Amino acid sequence: MYNFCNRLAVRSHLILAPHHSHPAPLPMESALFSSSPLSAFVPRSPPSLASRPLRLLSLPFSLLIHHSPPPRGGPPLLPRRLLRRFSPAAYADADAAAASAAESRSSGDRVVARPSSELRMGRPGGSGTGVAGDEKLRSLRELFARPDVAIDAYIIPSQDAHQSEFIAECFMRRAYLTGFTGSAGTAVVTKEKAALWTDGRYFLQAEKQLSPDWILMRSGNQGVPTTSEWLNDVLPAGCRIGIDPFLFSHDAAEELKEAISKKNHELILIKDFNLVDEIWKSRPKPPGKPTRVHDIKYAGVDVLSKLSSLRSVLVENGCTAIVISMLDEVAWLLNMRGSDVPNSPVFYSYLIVEISHATLFVDNNKVTPGVLDHLKSAGVELKPYEEILSEVESLAAKGAKLWLDTSCVNAAIVSIFRSACERHFTRLATKSRKQLNNGASSDLISIKSEDIRNGIPNGLYKVSPVAIAKAVKNKAEIEGMKNSHLRDAAALSEFWCWMEQEVKNNLTLTEVAVADKLFEFRKQQEGFIDTSFDTISGYGANGAVIHYKPTSDSCSFVGTDNLFLLDSGGQYVDGTTDITRTVHFGEPSAWQKECFTRVLQGHIALDQAIFPERMPGFVLDVLARSSLWKVGLDYRHGTGHGVGAALNVHEGPQSISFRFGNLTALQNGMIVSNEPGYYEDHSFGIRIENLLLVKEVDLPNSYGGIGFLGFEKLTFVPIQSKLIDTSLLSPMEIKWVNDYHSQVWEKVSPLVNVAVRDWLWRNTSHAACWTLKSRGKMRTQLMSTCLILSISMFARPIKQQSPPSYSFVLEPEKSYEALEVKKRVFLRINL
């Protein structure tokens, strides 16, 4: 309880500061409020608050939180989209930051690019709503007593019904209820208490945004209980704990159920209405923008073929149907895209694929005539989004054997199917086998399983087969990814060229302004739709915060004294990008260069890895860390996550991480990020990220007949050579940098204008080379490694005579080209 009171005190201090600079210490939380919702108006303590009714108290607090700091609109402007993001697939402790609320707009099939910063202003529970926190809690608690509710506590997670990383505003119930707008958090409300769990990146924000009615639970801090531990602690045994089963995956709900059963609590699935929605007066409408067809030239495989493959897998597994609830799986399978949530081109829907037909559950108004034709030709029917449950029930009635990935399909769907199964099992078992064998419904195909033949519904609870099918890209998807990466690289080259100048002239260039400018450059590229996540733009110490989220408090001006880390990505019609570069616009310290170089060595080692097929990604993780480990450094996130093709920037099932749990093998055609880093608290952050395509490699041997895989780079943007300490690199590593930069030059230089081309030349030529003094005043950068051994002797100042001739040094039998730029000659030797 000591820690607990302490925590309360800290929060009160922070919030009350303007009014009560020395708040009295608070007594035990359990005594703060009586158990009746009505008596909540008469708090017994703390003494400093007891003199005023909470209703009155809460209003000023609400105003304080939302109208006082930070002021809106003042310079520097901090669009919501700059909330930091971190990959859930690759990173250890991160949910992706999906806190920003807005819609990317597209009109019909026409894609219109608008900066997400512009679109994501309104926030649920934000300023100006005028509804006091306690009023919401009071309303919510009143519902507890309703006969059709009858619960003692309610859990409000951040999720939507599809486990999406980015969610629509209308589903931000936790944010509405608590006032806390961070992307990650779970609220729990009992009749007497209200608590919010969030993780380290949001402690400060939550302290500011939560009213005193809320207890802040700092997840990850020692001694902080989990939600279920807390419920088991504060509630008397045998309580009824309610959840909206749409907002929990089945597995998560089961885990919760198990955990609270220790105190004989019962988990109540309230599926007919969400309690927060009931009290949410001006709840935004669900997103209703039209969907579009994802062109077959980008999708590569038509919907019928995809459905046919899926149906084969269903039959192989003795199933007659599958419920698909992950939005990117629906979008991929149907070659459709939408704009219901920020950063991901998906739309709210469910899909049920049966052996003979398929049904898309989506709001009719999202389906244009073009999309309708597209769906019809693939034999996909439409039903309203809300009918998913009744359809699942009727599938059970028809004796379906239903594939459900319980790690992502929500508890509402799984539980309704299970109880339907139980009901029908009894009924069907009484019918004679013979009758069923002859008179099975037309939807049932003849498959091996006896259960199916007998028409008894049953569930197969297994990882969705669509996830892996989607992860292994086809030719057109790979082509689209490659093309979009080149356009993205052009935009980034333009951006960095601009930035290099701007940072020297503009002393008030903020991290947010930089991200906005990058958005402008990307927007000019063909087929650009939106960012693929909220840009992480971190200068100096901010770069060291892996989950960095610029706010007016923390946002810095970008200068020339420290490292600048920029992690960003774009959604294009043909692909999705994700790239991180770290640069220094002044003079990096030797230590920064060493750290950068070691991160680069890890990046190179993973990039160059060759490995047997059937190898899970975690086996390779050590390659990206070894160079850092050599000097006692490391980073606390994974090294790689999957990336969708014109879809979610984070997708499974593969990953490259120090966590050994994910046994998914890397496969030819998968795309992963390669993003080792190093973060020095309060100082700087470094990350170098490219996307890689997993590819079969042709080797001189094939031990045991096993195929070998390697990586092909998709990202082509210079790595700042200024930050590389070449003395740490091996000749192979030098060669890697030079080869990479040669490729960048070849691929990107035709896509940019002359000024940017000059920048690109300088940034792909300077690269990781020994810079040699020759006889004259000419400075030479050599681009090859097989010459390095011959050349490096000249790297030292030459005291006596110059070397016999250049012919020896440059190996004239190799061709090379020279370019004179500003009185300097650059030599590129083509090997």
789 near a copy of itself, rule: CB under 8 A = yes
First and final C-alpha spacing in the chain: 70
Among 74, 439, 704, 797, binds a copy of itself (CB under 8 A): 704
Query: Please, which residue, 168 or 620, has the CB nearer to a copy of itself?
Result: 620
Overall size of the chain counted in residues: 831
Quickly list DSSP for 62-122: HHHHHHSSSPSSPSSP--GGGS----TTT-SS------------EETTEE----HHHH---
Structure tokens at 662: 């994910």
Q: CA-CA distance, 165 to 641, in Å (whole number)?
A: 14
Region near a copy of itself per CB under 8 A, out of 488-496, 541-549, 784-792, 823-831:
784-792
Window 724-763: residues binding a copy of itself (CB under 8 A) = 730-732
Number of H helices, E strands in the chain: 27, 33
Shortest distance in whole angstroms from residue 679 CB to a copy of itself: 9
365, 508, 703, 777: which one binds a copy of itself (CB under 8 A): 703
Rounded to whole angstroms, how far apart are CA atoms 42 and 20?
Answer: 20
Nearest-5° Cα angle at 415, 412 to 421 = 140
To the nearest whole angstrom, how small is the minimum distance from the Cβ of residue 674 to a copy of itself? 16
| b/e code 425-460 from CB counts within 10 Å (16+ = b) | beebeeeeeeebeeebeeebeebeeeebbbbbbbbe
Binding flag, residue 700, a copy of itself (CB under 8 A): yes
Contact status: 660 vs a copy of itself (CB under 8 A): yes
Q: By CB under 8 A, name the one of 797, 804, 813, 823 that touches a copy of itself.
A: 804
CB of 809 to a copy of itself, least distance (A): 9
Residue 790 lies near a copy of itself (rule: CB under 8 A): yes
Query: Nearer Cβ to a copy of itself, position 50 or 732?
Result: 732
Minimum distance of a copy of itself from residue 598's CB (angstroms): 10
Q: For a copy of itself, which stretch binds (CB under 8 A), given 156-164, 215-223, 632-640, 736-744?
A: 632-640
Residue 638 Cβ vs a copy of itself, minimum distance, rounded to whole Å? 14
- Measured from the CB atom, is 378 or 606 closer to a copy of itself? 606
| 614 lies in the site for a copy of itself, by CB under 8 A | no
Which of residues 384 and 707 has its CB atom nearest to a copy of itself in the complex?
707
Nearer to a copy of itself, 312 or 730 (CB): 730
Residues 227-256 that bind a copy of itself (CB under 8 A): none
- Selected range binding a copy of itself among 78-86, 238-246, 538-546, 782-790, rule: CB under 8 A: 782-790
Minimum CB–partner distance for residue 236 and a copy of itself (Å): 25
Q: Which of 755, 793, 818, 819 binds a copy of itself (CB under 8 A)?
A: 793
Per CB under 8 A, 634 contacts a copy of itself = yes
Residue that the structure tokens 């998560």 belong to: 252
Q: Residue 543 CB, nearest distance to a copy of itself (Å)?
A: 16
DSSP annotation of 410 reads B
Binding-site member from 296, 507, 699, 821 for a copy of itself (CB under 8 A): 699
Residue 706 touches a copy of itself, criterion: CB under 8 A = yes
702 scored as a contact of a copy of itself (CB under 8 A): yes
* Minimum separation from the CB atom of position 554 to a copy of itself (A): 22
SS3 labels along 584-639: ECCCCCHHHHHHHHHHHHHHHHHHCCCEECCCECHHHHHHHHHHHHCCCCCCCCCC
Nearest approach in angstroms of CB 806 to a copy of itself is: 14
Considering the complex, state which of residue 338 and residue 640 has its C-beta at the smaller distance from a copy of itself.
Answer: 640
Member of 1, 237, 590, 663 binding a copy of itself (CB under 8 A) = 663
- Beta strands (DSSP E) in 488-562 are 528-531, 536-539
Are 399 and 450 spatial neighbours (Cβ–Cβ below 8 Å)? no
Q: Contact, 256 vs 231, CB < 8 A? A: no
Residue 718 CB partners (closer than 8 Å, separation 6+): 493, 496, 581, 741, 744, 760, 763, 764, 767
- State both tokens at 118: 């512009």
- Within 10 Å of residue 710's Cβ, how many Cβ atoms? 18
**Interface residue with a copy of itself, options 626, 753, 771, 807 (CB under 8 A):** 626
Least spacing, CB of residue 544 vs a copy of itself, in Å = 12
Nearest alpha carbon to residue 346 among 70, 576, 581: 576
Taking the complex as a whole, the smallest distance from the CB of residue 612 to a copy of itself amounts, in Å, to 6
* Total chain residues near a copy of itself (CB under 8 A): 41
Residues ≥6 apart with Cβ < 8 Å to 221: 200
Which value, to the nearest 10 degrees, does the dihedral of the CA atoms of residues 360, 363, 369, 370 take?
-60
Kindly state the smallest distance separating residue 97's Cβ from a copy of itself, in Å.
Answer: 23
Residue carrying the six token digits 């093998």: 665
- Give the residue among 137, 124, 274, 135 at the shortest CA–CA distance from 196: 137
Contacts of 441 (CB under 8 A, 6+ apart): 398, 399, 455
Q: Which is nearer to a copy of itself, 386 or 698 (CB)?
A: 698
| Near a copy of itself in 561-600, by CB under 8 A | none
Q: Does 632 bind a copy of itself (CB under 8 A)?
A: yes
CB of 510 to a copy of itself, least distance (A): 30
**797 in contact with a copy of itself (CB under 8 A):** no
786 touching a copy of itself, by CB under 8 A: no
| Residue 609 engages a copy of itself in binding (rule: CB under 8 A) | yes
Q: Does 788 bind a copy of itself (CB under 8 A)?
A: yes
> Which residue number, 505 or 801, has a Cβ lying nearer to a copy of itself?
801
- Give the DSSP H or E segment for 551: none
Contact in structure between 335 and 299 (CB atoms under 8 Å): yes
Residue 801 makes contact with a copy of itself by CB under 8 A:
yes
Burial 776-808 (b: 16+ CB within 10 A, else e): eeeebbbbbbebbeebeebeeeeeeeeeeeeee
Q: Interface with a copy of itself by CB under 8 A: which range of 338-346, 435-443, 714-722, 788-796?
A: 788-796
Apex 88 CA angle, 83 and 90, nearest 5: 115
Q: Indicate the residue among 330 and 545 with the shorter CB distance to a copy of itself.
A: 545
Single out the residue of 674, 695, 686 nearest to residue 606, CA to CA.
Answer: 674
Least gap, CB of 665 to a copy of itself (angstroms): 12
Pick the piece of the chain touching a copy of itself (CB under 8 A) from 219-227, 532-540, 567-575, 604-612.
604-612
**Within its chain, how far is the Cα of 408 from the centroid?**
16
Contact 503, 584 (CB under 8 A): no
Instruction: By CB under 8 A, name the binding residues for a copy of itself.
Output: 609-612, 616, 619-623, 626, 628-634, 636, 658, 660, 663, 699-704, 706, 708, 730-732, 788-790, 792-793, 800-801, 804
